Amino acid sequence: MNRRFFLKSSGVAFAGFGFAMNSPSFLARTLAQTSTTGRRKTLIVIFQRGAMDSLNAVIPYGESAYYDLRPSLAVPRPKNDKQPNNPSAIDLDGFFALSPALSAFKPIYDAGQLAIVHAVGSPDTTRSHFDAQDYMEAGTPGVKSTSDGWLNRYLQSRPDKTASPFRAVAMGPNLPRTLQGKAASIAMNNINDFGIRGGGGQSAAALQGGFEAMYEQSVNEALRGTGHETFEAVKMLKRVNPTQYKPAADANYPRGRFGDSLKQIAQLIKSDIGLEVAFTDIGGWDTHANEGAGQGQLANRLLEFSNGIAALYADLKDRAGDVVILTMTEFGRTAKENGNRGTDHGHASCMFVLGGNVNGGKVLGKWPGLQNSQLYEGRDLALTTDFRDVFSEIAMRHLGATNLNAVFPAYQTKISNFRGIIRS
């Protein structure tokens, strides 16, 4: 039996040995004295991996160039009955509209608790999925050498020796780039599988004793206590009995990994075990061919995406003032459709922000236009909002961050660049 066996069999992924060497422990040492569990401000981050086409998600139907650029992909204008087999867009403000597949967002938008930031993204020019995702999660566009993620740096900037071991959680098999770093974070596939398991008919007590002893005998001070803390975290979660969780009556999560991840994030928040940052992702946005308009490939992804988030929001409606949900994608798509009735890798996209204190019912940001002279490199939606300004505003005005220079090194954050996402 060795450490690798236990880590592989645990049902929980930590940041890894590199993290352990740079931190006093994987989890807080004094769980018995934890004082920061309970209700608190929480940020839920959802990454749309693959580059979502923002122009067919939040449609600038008031600009005729949109229809010129997309003769087969354009979503029909609101209340357009000329194409019964191609559902029309849902009007927002007389210029922008939602894809019909995002209809679940409209009531939240109308209630003033959903804001959209358009023409937002990374100033870096890469069209590589891998690089663009890395830059966005690290919060340092164009810099590949950054060792930690911006969410982890946020946690580092507000150290809390009595924080819950569940202060930062990612739903998935691996810790995402944005949560890697010195601050303790947890990744898990499923709440109900969170634990330490062993084979050979060993009892839990024997397994625990061997696991703890293994780490206590480590020559490295950073690893000592890890076994005990891991089991303490398991016991802490079991005390809130997540297997008995029942979502709110109007929270209808879609089936599949994405819906399950969102439901479990709601479980953790409502369990009051000190969750401050949660992360999950959803793929399938790389629509090079047969993208579709009001129906089709992209619409199917938007439907699952919006239904899942709407269910999460309904589940947390009693805590809306404490929660912000932020979505992001590495870049957008080309403004003009390609020869395969799809779109290629572009530049700016859009973000959705939901919350009780969100300045919603608005499409925020500066619209750059879709005329050829207004497009980035003559092909893409131009960038008018740096993603770091969105992240900074939420970190400061929702989570209470005070040292944004530590969160976004080498970037001069200016409050004047904030888009008014969070009500002051």
| Percent of the chain at pLDDT exceeding 70 | 79
> Which pLDDT score, from 0 to 100, does residue 82 have?
65
- Contact between 117 and 351 under an 8 Å Cβ cutoff? The reply is yes
- Contact between 285 and 53 under an 8 Å Cβ cutoff? The reply is yes
What is d(CA 52, CA 85) in angstroms, rounded to the nearest whole number? 23
CATH classification at residue 152: 3.40.720.10
Cβ-Cβ contacts under 8 Å for 221 (sequence gap 6 or more):
none
What is d(CA 191, CA 25) in angstroms, rounded to the nearest whole number? 22
What is d(CA 115, CA 135) in angstroms, rounded to the nearest whole number? 24
Give the gyration radius of the chain's Cα atoms: 22
Residue 54 is assigned to a structural domain of this protein: yes
Print the domain residue range for 41: 13-191+250-417
Residue 196 is assigned to a structural domain of this protein: no
Domain count within the chain: 1
Average pLDDT, the chain: 85
> Which pLDDT score, from 0 to 100, does residue 192 have?
77
Cβ-Cβ contacts under 8 Å for 172 (sequence gap 6 or more):
187, 188, 189, 261, 279, 280, 281
What is d(CA 147, CA 137) in angstroms, rounded to the nearest whole number? 11
E-state strands within 67-155: 90-91, 97-98, 114-121
Residue 163 is assigned to a structural domain of this protein: yes
- 1-27 residue pLDDT tens: 344 433 433 444 443 333 332 333 444
- Contact between 278 and 42 under an 8 Å Cβ cutoff? The reply is yes
Residue 56 is assigned to a structural domain of this protein: yes
Residue 187 is assigned to a structural domain of this protein: yes
> Which pLDDT score, from 0 to 100, does residue 37 have?
57
User: Could you tell me the two tokens for 244?
Assistant: 């008995």
Indicate left, alpha or beta for 313 from its phi (over 0: left) and psi (-120 to 50: alpha). alpha
What is d(CA 249, CA 314) in angstroms, rounded to the nearest whole number? 9
- 293-311 residue pLDDT tens: 999 999 999 999 999 999 9
CA distances 288 to 49, 103, 262, 337, Å, are: 14, 24, 28, 9
Helix (H) or strand (E) holding 407: helix 404-407
Residue 76 is assigned to a structural domain of this protein: yes
> Which pLDDT score, from 0 to 100, does residue 160 have?
84
- In three-state secondary structure terms, 157 is helix
Mean pLDDT by 10 residues, the chain (424 residues): 40 37 38 53 98 98 98 93 80 98 98 98 98 98 97 95 88 95 92 56 42 48 47 68 84 97 95 94 98 97 98 97 98 98 98 98 98 98 98 98 96 97 92
Q: Which residues of 106-126 are buried (b: 16+ CB within 10 A; e: fewer)?
A: bebbeeebbbbbbbbbbebeb
Residue 308 is assigned to a structural domain of this protein: yes
CA distances 25 to 19, 99, 150, 229, 232, Å, are: 9, 46, 20, 9, 13
- 277-290 residue pLDDT tens: 999 999 999 999 99
CA distances 293 to 72, 346, 363, Å, are: 8, 18, 21
Give the pairing type, strands 323-329 and 349-355: antiparallel
DSSP H helices in 166-222: 204-216
Residue 48 is assigned to a structural domain of this protein: yes
